[in-house]
Structure 1
Amino acid sequence: MFSVDILASNQLYVGDMAFILVSFAILVVLVRIFAWGPVTKMMQERADKIAADIDSAEDARKEAEELAVKRQEQLKASRQEATTIVSDAKNQGNEQRQAIIDKAQTDASSLKVSAQAEIEQARRDALASVQNEVADLSVQIATKIIQKELKLDDQKALIDSYIEGLGTHNEA
């Protein structure tokens, strides 16, 4: 008996199997009609969104690279501009320094020429004054020695020739 029960439990039930197969086929048809379209549509939308996100990310990466290149160019241009500004400032400073030096040298030269002219004029004035004093003194000495007065013009001519002789003697 025990063996009959085992055999009975191992038998295939064709009716149940046919029912399960028909139910599965109906389920597949219903899934295809009602769920397959929305699931496929959802999967396609997801795939499209992922592709769009990838494209967007690629565009953003390219844009970021372009911005980085532009910023590098702007930085390079800014550095060149700063170098140019510094160079121009140095050149301008050197030009101003040279102009100040040139003006100072010109002023010093003109002061030197002016001072030399003043010194020469003072020397001439002193020499003329000394000549007059020597002439007057000589006249007084000569008057005392000879006890008579010489003509002033003759005495001055004599003294002038004597002083010129001294001047040429001192210069030599």
Structure 2
Amino acid sequence: MFDITEIAWWNALYQLVAFGVLLLLLKKFAFGPVMNMMETREKHVADQIASAEKNREESEKYLEEQREAIQAARMEAKEIVENAKKMSDQQAQDVIKNARLEAERMKDNAVKEINTEKEQAISALREQVSTLSVLIASKVIEKELDEKEQERLIQETLKEVGGNL
């Protein structure tokens, strides 16, 4: 029979050699590809993290640029509104000024026209008074009448002339 100690050593040595061969085989065919796959996966995750960090930084930069652009647009819009308000105020003042000048000019023209017509009316009235005076004088000269008759004649002439006015 076999000695128990002898079998255990051979068996242990056999198992150690088999374990070593198994480790070499695993290292060559399993651990190598698994480790390569793990390294590839680790590199891919690291690249994704770096890319995400880069994208986050770019997004924050873009967001800040957008905020600045919005602020600039608000300031520009405010300036445009203020300029438009100033221009409209100036135009309103110009319109009022022009309207006042036009009204003053029209008033002056109307006063001149009224004065001209007044002068023409006074001139016409003087002419008619002169004509009346001459007419009355000629009628008085034609007829030597008493005072009542002269008064009646003057009133009659005035009525005739008054109807012609």
Q: Normalization by structure 1: what TM-score?
A: 0.69
For structure 1, the 5+ residue unaligned runs are 1-7, 149-172
Deviations 1:26-73 (A, max 9, x none): 212222333333222222222211111111001100111111112112
Mean alpha-carbon deviation: is it higher for 77-86 or for 139-148? 139-148
Tell me how far 1:147 sits from its aligned partner. 5.2
After superposition, where does 1:41-52 map in structure 2 within 5 Å?
41-52=36-47
Alpha-carbon offset, residue 99 of structure 1: 2.0
Equivalent in the alignment of 2:104: 109
Q: Which residue of 2 aligns with 1:95?
A: 90
- Give the structure 2 partner of residue 158 of structure 1: none
Question: How large is the Cα RMSD of the aligned pairs?
Answer: 2.4
In the alignment, the residues of structure 2 paired with residue 65 and residue 32 of structure 1 have an alpha-carbon distance, to the nearest angstrom, of: 46
**TM-score w.r.t. length of structure 2:** 0.71
CA distance in 2 between counterparts of 1:132 and 1:29 reads: 148
Structure 1 counterpart of 2:117, which letter? A
Deviations 1:95-133 (A, max 9, x none): 222222222111111110000000001111111111111
Count of paired positions: 138
Partner Cα separation in structure 2 for residue 32 and residue 52 of structure 1: 27
User: 2:59 is aligned with what amino acid?
Assistant: A
Moved more, 14-23 or 62-71: 14-23
More contact order relative to length (CA 8 Å, sep ≥ 6): 2
* Rounded Cα–Cα distance in structure 1 between residues aligned with 2:46 and 2:29: 27
- Residues 1-172 of structure 1 aligned to structure 2 (within 5 Å): 13-145=8-140
Unaligned runs of 5+ in 2: 144-165
Percent identical among aligned pairs is 36
